[in-house]
Every structure is written in structure tokens, then in C-alpha cells.
Amino acid sequence: MATPPVPSHMVELPSWLLSQSALHAHRLVSEGLGEIGARTYHYRLLAALAEEGPASQNTLGRRCGIHASDLVATINELAEDGYVRRDPDPTDRRRNVVTLTAEGRRRLRRLDATVRRIQDRVLAPLSAEERSLLSRLLRVLIDHHGNRPGSTRE
């Protein structure tokens, strides 16, 4: 299917370019992870547990920027496959603590490799220096607007 024409005054707008690039990148990542039976939420949650250790479901939701209803479903899926373990919090039995399992670490390594390959596809026309510059500039924008998960900026 052909892409509909875009008004010429839009094609140089950085906001439009960012949104179009983000849509394409998100689609490629979702499709690539889907090919190995994963979703982006799986990757996000496993990475957060690997980086910051066991956490309550509420803490994980804040760390990952995943809504509570989606978080529960994601944890359920990962627990069913043995990638995470959910245990009662010893300090508050009403809460659960989610922990990454050894199988979850192996799964995360596979997801990392898949995502790296997808990044290479998304950024194929850019040199290593251009990729680095693009990442730095995007981090500046994200930090300025405070829209990283867990950000305290309002």
C-alpha cells in the first residue's frame, strides 16, 4: 500500500519526523519481539528487574511506566513461563514482590539480542557517530520534557 502524500510544510517539522520515526521503530520492535513470543512490556519489565532487582508490583509499574491492569497481565504471562516469581512481601503480606528467575535472565539476553538486531534495522542508514548523536539528542529532549518512566519532573 502506498504512503499517502504529506503536505510539504510538514515533512521538515521535527515533531512530525519524530512521530513518524517512532511509529516505524515501535512497529518493528513489536513485530520482532512477537516473532519470538514476546511483547514490549515483557522486555521492559524483565530489564527493570535485571537492573534494579526485585520489586513490588506498584514499584515495577512506576519504574516501567506500565498501567496497573497491563502490569498484572504482563507479570502473569511472565510468571506462567517461569521468567519471574511472585512472592508475598515479608514486610507486608498484602503485597507481592516480583523477582527475576534464572530463566528470566536467559530470556532477557535473547530479547536484548533481538532488540539490538532491530535497532540495526531501524538505524541502518546512520553511521555509528550519527546513531550516537541521535541517541544523545533524543535523551536531551526526553529529559527536558520529563517523560521518562519514573521521572519526577512535572
Tens of pLDDT along the chain (154 residues)? 566 678 888 888 999 899 999 999 999 999 999 999 999 999 999 999 999 999 999 999 999 999 988 999 999 999 999 999 999 988 888 889 999 999 999 999 999 999 999 999 999 999 999 999 999 999 999 999 886 554 443 3
CA of 104: how far to CAs of 63, 74, 122, in Å?
Answer: 18, 13, 26
pLDDT of res. 110: 97
Number of neighbours of residue 97 by Cβ within 10 angstroms: 19
**Spatial contact of 87 and 101, defined as CB atoms under 8 Å apart:** no
pLDDT of res. 151: 44
Q: The whole model's pTM is what?
A: 0.82
Instruction: Give the 3-state secondary structure of residue 154.
Output: coil
Phi, psi of 115, rounded to the nearest 5 degrees:
-65, -40
pLDDT of res. 4: 67
pLDDT of res. 10: 85
pLDDT of res. 5: 77
Nearest Cα to 75, choosing from 93, 102, 52, 48? Answer: 48
Sheet holding 55-56, edge to edge: 55-56, 92-100, 84-89
